């Protein structure tokens, strides 16, 4: 690519403007920030997904997808300006030296990090570091009067993208993917083998809230569900000719019935899997219309470790549908507020409010069922959002962090007694009841932040799901994420619809048979 810096080129014009500001502006300026702002300004006028990230942002963006990072190996949350260890990573460096759930990390290499209003980013920067280096931690432990000291040798810490694997019902396996990263395919196959040994005949693949990730991970997973040579997705752009991605071999799990769960936050790579399953009439898509992120970004590394992610092409499903929803260049607010707009227009609660133009009609490849382009994947079986359960009051409690923080305090105060009372998840699921005081504390903490129900009826509607959510959060902190979903899924209309379809023998690709 040849760069033109001649006198009348746009690049020369940009260079002169930057030099003028740097040398002539009335106040001193940060030249690095000046250039970064110029890059961001250029990209935000293009499309919602072309973006610039500084070196720290690049690292934060890549870690969830790379499958590991280098650090001390703890799951934690911030409670009252203090880092609270939720769980040390199994067999990780912190567990090896004796750090326990409930410990508070108050200092790192003799620098106080508790009670000093240090940002989460700064804390993470101090805890993480190259594999093999040592960090000295000051730990406050409940019941121990003095501060404990631990020397932790940093190591590679795995980042899992499979959130849950378990049998929903006899014969019905469940896998939830949080994203599509470097290790997702291997994790998925490990989960599928485990479920296969437990007698799985139907798979519920949960892609709700999955924002995507690596294209190849999505292609590999979809390939396990399709026939050899089946087209999974293709990309095409102004400077990039059509590129086809196909199943490389007959999928190991081609004979398993498939039910894919999606919602308005299912995006990108998750939409590729959903679209391929739907277009090949391979399974039933259940839920609500997906986000509609069908723009392909190419990362362009810059010398200082920063990166531009530039949109170069569109994703298309096997039938030829463009996944990307419409957008107005430069109007990032409307794009970001898509959920609220869908809720306002009634799309999340009523399928009849969704209208497609005939020009957007396509047909599936095996049964020639009509499907529509225009953005996102419309499910075969629509499941409305239950606004009587997910009330405005509940959404505000979650957004303000009230539910999570109140639960963390409860766990911190009762961890030992809970572990004695519920030694296994099976005992916990059958016998644990959320204490009334914990529910009252959530309501009280919400009130302190100005979050209150509009009336007694909204409070009454909020309580059942809030109780389930708190039980699931306690399960997560005592056990793991898979146990969290085993609790929360029992109240999910989308999951229950999939279970009903599988139990009724709903034939993949035949939505009429998949209704609950």
Query: Rounded to an integer, what distance in angstroms lies between the CA atom of residue 142 and that of residue 412?
Result: 9
Q: Torsion over CA of 417, 423, 426 and 428, rounded to 10 degrees?
A: 0
User: How many C-beta neighbours within 10 Å does residue 370 have?
Assistant: 10
- Go through 448-484 and write b for each residue having 16 or more CB atoms within 10 A of its CB, e for each that does not: eeebebeeeebbebbbebbbbbbbbbbbbbbbbbbbb
Write the DSSP symbol of residue 319: T
- For 335-376, give the DSSP string: HHTHHHHHHHHTTTT-GGG----GGGEEE-TTT--EEE-SSS
Query: Rounded to an integer, what distance in angstroms lies between the CA atom of residue 286 and that of residue 510?
Result: 12
3-state secondary structure 391-422: CHHHHHHHHCCHHHHHHHHHHHHHHHHHHHHC
Per the structure block, which two tokens stand in for 123?
């804390």
Annotated catalytic residue, options 50, 51, 161, 268: 268
Query: Rounded to an integer, what distance in angstroms lies between the CA atom of residue 299 and that of residue 215?
Result: 13
Query: Rounded to an integer, what distance in angstroms lies between the CA atom of residue 393 and that of residue 390?
Result: 8
Residues contacting residue 8 through CB under 8 Å, at least 6 positions apart = none
At residue 276, the 3 state secondary structure works out as helix
User: How many C-beta neighbours within 10 Å does residue 489 have?
Assistant: 22
User: How many C-beta neighbours within 10 Å does residue 52 have?
Assistant: 22
Annotated catalytic residue, options 209, 281, 293, 482: 293
Residues β-bridged to residue 311: 297
At residue 140, the 3 state secondary structure works out as strand
- 6 flagged as catalytic: no
Distance of CA 364 to the CA centre of its chain: 28
- 331 flagged as catalytic: no
Number of residues that make up the chain: 516
At residue 308, the 3 state secondary structure works out as strand
User: How many C-beta neighbours within 10 Å does residue 423 have?
Assistant: 10
Cα dihedral sign, 311-317-319-325: negative
Write the DSSP symbol of residue 325: P
CA atoms within 13 A on the CB side of 424: 3
Q: 327 with 47: CB under 8 angstroms?
A: yes
| Nearest residue to 477 via CA among 398, 402, 404, 394 | 404
Query: Rounded to an integer, what distance in angstroms lies between the CA atom of residue 83 and that of residue 85?
Result: 7
- 268 flagged as catalytic: yes
Annotated catalytic residue, options 47, 155, 209, 279: 279
The residues carrying an active-site annotation are 268, 279, 293
């Amino acid at each position: 690519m040849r760069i033109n810096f001649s006198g009348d080129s746009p690049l020369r014009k940009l260079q002169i403007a930057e030099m003028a500001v740097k040398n002539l502006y009335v106040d001193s300026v940060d030249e690095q920030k000046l250039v970064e702002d110029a890059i961001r300004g250029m990209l935000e006028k293009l499309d919602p997904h072309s973006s610039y990230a500084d070196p720290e942002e690049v690292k934060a963006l890549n870690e969830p997808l790379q499958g590991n990072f280098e650090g001390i190996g703890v799951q934690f949350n911030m409670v009252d300006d203090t880092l609270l260890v939720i769980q040390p990573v199994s067999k990780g460096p912190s567990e090896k030296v004796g750090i326990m759930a409930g410990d508070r990390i108050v200092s790192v290499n003799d620098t106080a990090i508790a009670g000093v209003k240090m940002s989460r980013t700064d804390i993470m920067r101090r805890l993480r570091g190259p594999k093999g280096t040592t960090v000295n931690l000051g730990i406050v432990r409940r019941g121990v009067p003095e501060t404990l000291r631990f020397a932790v040798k940093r190591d590679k810490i795995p980042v899992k993208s499979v959130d849950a694997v378990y049998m929903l019902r006899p014969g019905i396996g469940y896998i939830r993917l949080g994203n599509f990263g470097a290790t997702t395919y291997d994790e998925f196959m490990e989960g599928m083998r485990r479920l296969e040994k437990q007698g799985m005949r139907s798979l519920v693949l949960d892609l709700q809230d999955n924002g995507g990730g690596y294209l190849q991970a999505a292609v590999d997973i979809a390939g396990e569900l399709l026939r050899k040579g089946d087209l999974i997705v293709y990309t095409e752009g102004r400077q990039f000719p059509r590129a086809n991605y196909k199943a490389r071999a007959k999928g190991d799990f081609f004979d398993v019935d498939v039910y894919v769960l999606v919602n308005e936050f299912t995006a990108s790579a998750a939409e590729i899997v959903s679209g391929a399953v739907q277009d090949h009439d391979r399974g039933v898509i259940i839920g609500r219309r997906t986000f509609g992120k069908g723009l392909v970004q190419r990362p362009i590394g810059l010398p200082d470790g920063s990166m531009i992610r530039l949109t170069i092409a569109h994703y298309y499903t096997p039938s030829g549908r463009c996944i990307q929803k419409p957008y107005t260049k430069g109007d990032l607010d409307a794009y970001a507020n898509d959920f609220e707009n869908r809720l306002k227009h009634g799309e999340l609660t009523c399928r009849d409010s969704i209208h497609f133009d005939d020009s957007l009609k396509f047909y599936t490849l095996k049964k020639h069922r009509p499907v529509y382009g225009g953005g996102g994947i419309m499910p075969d079986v629509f499941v409305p959002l239950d606004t009587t359960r997910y009330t405005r009051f509940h959404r505000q409690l979650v957004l303000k962090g009230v539910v999570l923080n109140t639960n963390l305090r409860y766990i911190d105060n009762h961890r030992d007694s809970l572990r004695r009372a519920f030694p296994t998840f099976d005992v916990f699921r059958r016998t644990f009841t959320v204490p009334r005081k914990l529910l009252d504390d959530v309501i009280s903490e919400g009130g302190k932040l100005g979050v209150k129900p509009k009336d007694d009826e909204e409070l009454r509607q909020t309580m059942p799901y809030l109780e389930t959510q708190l039980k699931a959060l306690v399960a997560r902190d005592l056990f793991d994420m898979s146990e969290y979903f085993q609790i929360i899924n029992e109240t999910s209309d989308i999951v229950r619809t999939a279970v009903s379809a599988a139990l009724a023998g709903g034939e993949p690709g035949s939505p009429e048979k998949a209704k609950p």
